[in-house]
């Protein structure tokens, strides 16, 4: 399904002598506009390309909640 979500793109503050600057990559996190605010997707640039992580299941008190309608 579709729903409203916040797209968060944090920035990295470089406090080192440049070593961290070469390792830092872009990260994006999506958080739904609901009361639980569980991250539902994360994307990150890594040395081999990109990684995408999607939340597919939440277990809350033994009750299985899935992302599928």
- The helix (run of H) or strand (run of E) holding residue 5 is strand 5-8
Are 13 and 4 in contact by the 8 Å Cβ rule? The answer is: no
* pLDDT top residue among 1 and 34: 34
pTM reported for the whole predicted model: 0.67
The model's pLDDT over 2-61, given as tens digits with 9 standing for 90+, comes to 778 999 998 766 665 655 555 557 889 999 998 888 899 999 888 788 999 999 888 776
SS3 state of residue 24: coil
Q: What is the DSSP string of 37-66?
A: ----EEEEEETTEEEEEE--EEEETTEEEE
């Amino acid at each position: 399904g579709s729903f409203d979500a916040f797209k968060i793109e944090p920035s990295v503050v470089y406090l080192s002598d440049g070593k961290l600057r070469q390792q830092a990559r872009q990260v994006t996190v999506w958080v739904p506009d609901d009361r639980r605010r569980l991250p539902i997707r994360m994307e990150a640039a890594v040395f081999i390309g990109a990684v995408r992580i999607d939340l597919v299941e939440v277990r809350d008190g033994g009750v299985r909640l899935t992302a599928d309608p």
